[in-house]
Amino acid sequence: MESFVLPEDFLLGTATASLQIEGGDKNNTWYKWCEEGHIKDGSSCITACDHWNRVEQDTELLIQMNVNTHRMSLEWSRIEPKAGEFSSEAIEHYRNEINLLIKNGIKPLITLHHFSEPLWFYEMGGWLKTGNSNYFLEYVKYVIEHLGDEVCEWITFNEPNVYTKFGYIFGLWPPGHRKLSMSSKVCSEIIKAHVKAYQIIHSIRKEMGFNGKTRVGFAMHIRIFCGVTFMGRLLSKAADYFFHELYMEGMIKSNIKFPLSVNGHKHTAATYADFIGINYYTRNIIEFSFSPSNLFHSIRNDNELDKNDLGWDIYPEGIYSVCKKYYERYRLPIYITENGISDKSDSKRPNFICSHLANIAKAIGEGTEIQRYYHWTLMDNFEWLDGQEANFGLYHCNFETQERTIRPGGNLYSMICKEKKLTDEMMDEFLKAK
């Protein structure tokens, strides 16, 4: 590991998602999914980190972390508890939370859809029913009309590729479907909704007098797919197309590509993202498999690479190559909207953080416009199917007592946020092997 220096205007932060930390909301699809017993450790998002009642305490954690920016999401089911009925109480709650960030010099980046949805939306057919995306767009309008004066940076959707794959192909997430045709339908609906939301956010903020300062994007889960055999290489290309390309082209260029359905969508050549949000975690080796239910491929680890607690390969060079690839293709600023490690003992987190940031610094040095890094995540939280078993937090969270304790990796990250560099002294103090 070598020391690095990040540009002065580079912002470092943390990322969270409402469902994973807030607790207390029964009006969303994930609560129902937990009640139905789908979570590996039997836990439920109803507890999470009780963040809804601990906003001030958790803002203190952010202050201690020295972050310049924080990415958080809004819970649609709280803001719109019934179709067409909005809660001024919920929006006020979020307004206060956002104001607290701003007051403390922390720039908010707000996600409108991070996997969870109101139960009523799902009961009305969700994204599978044509026309339902208007509900999402009404919610977007309401939010921007109420928070758009405070927040200039928005993410419409978090990881639409993961959302459609797990919820509509593998049946592992709500709503639990296993149909390719459904996933294609949802994917095209989400792309169209993103394009419209992009325009809505810009136009409302323009009416408010904030023209020129608004930035709207999305956060895409990007993996490195690699093949070691001929078939593996071919399948990696296919995986890259179906998992990344379809979404990137759709969301950035409003270009609905095969096999998605254009159905009523008018393509206007323009750009519908002011930045590209990349959530980067790992690399997968792809091999051919005879199983049609697994779309004729299997995914395996690389025995040579170190793993996180969930068995994911740690491959820091990947963040360098994905940033370069998408910057060269679209020439839009890159935000790393998520990157982190499940590491309960914290034995790998310091190295993980530094090696990924070192690769970012290298790409920036070569002219790649990477402007932000959001570490996933502030504190251990409700990790979807893995429940409370995963430990991605810079702070450990004891879910019984709700006590938060900073991990050594958290201390190191707070120093990096403050200094915008990694020094030899920091390496001596925090890194096991340089």
In the complex with ligand BGC, the residue whose CB is nearer, 149 or 309, is 309
Tell me whether strands 215-226 and 153-158 are parallel, antiparallel or unpaired: parallel
In the complex with ligand BGC, the residue whose CB is nearer, 183 or 254, is 183
DSSP-derived secondary structure for 103-126 = HTT-EEEEEEESS--BHHHHHTTG
Tokens of 21: 């930390």
Quick check: is 159 catalytic? yes
Q: Of all helices (H) and strands (E), which one includes residue 288?
A: strand 276-288
Could you give the CA distance from residue 387 to residue 342 in angstroms, rounded to a whole number? 12
Catalytic residue among 22, 75, 97, 159: 159
Query: How would you class 311 by CB atoms within 10 Å of its CB: exposed for 0-12, middle for 13-18, buried for 19 or more?
Result: exposed
| Chain residues in the site for ligand BGC (CB under 6 A) | 17, 20, 158-159, 162, 221, 279, 338, 376, 383, 392
Residues 6+ apart with CB under 8 A from 231: 287, 288
Could you give the CA distance from residue 351 to residue 357 in angstroms, rounded to a whole number? 10
The least CB distance from residue 307 to ligand BGC, in Å, is 14
The least CB distance from residue 381 to ligand BGC, in Å, is 7
The dihedral through the CA atoms of 75, 79, 80, 81 has a sign that is: positive
Residue in 125, 119, 124 with CA at minimum distance from that of residue 77: 119
Residue in 180, 186, 93, 178 with CA at minimum distance from that of residue 143: 93
- Contact 29/434 with Cβ under 8 angstroms? no
In the complex with ligand BGC, the residue whose CB is nearer, 133 or 282, is 282
Query: How would you class 238 by CB atoms within 10 Å of its CB: exposed for 0-12, middle for 13-18, buried for 19 or more?
Result: middle
Residue in 433, 390, 396 with CA at minimum distance from that of residue 411: 396
The least CB distance from residue 262 to ligand BGC, in Å, is 28
In the complex with ligand BGC, the residue whose CB is nearer, 61 or 155, is 155
The least CB distance from residue 383 to ligand BGC, in Å, is 5
In the complex with ligand BGC, the residue whose CB is nearer, 194 or 221, is 221
The least CB distance from residue 382 to ligand BGC, in Å, is 9
In the complex with ligand BGC, the residue whose CB is nearer, 128 or 310, is 310
The least CB distance from residue 61 to ligand BGC, in Å, is 17
- Annotated catalytic residues are 159
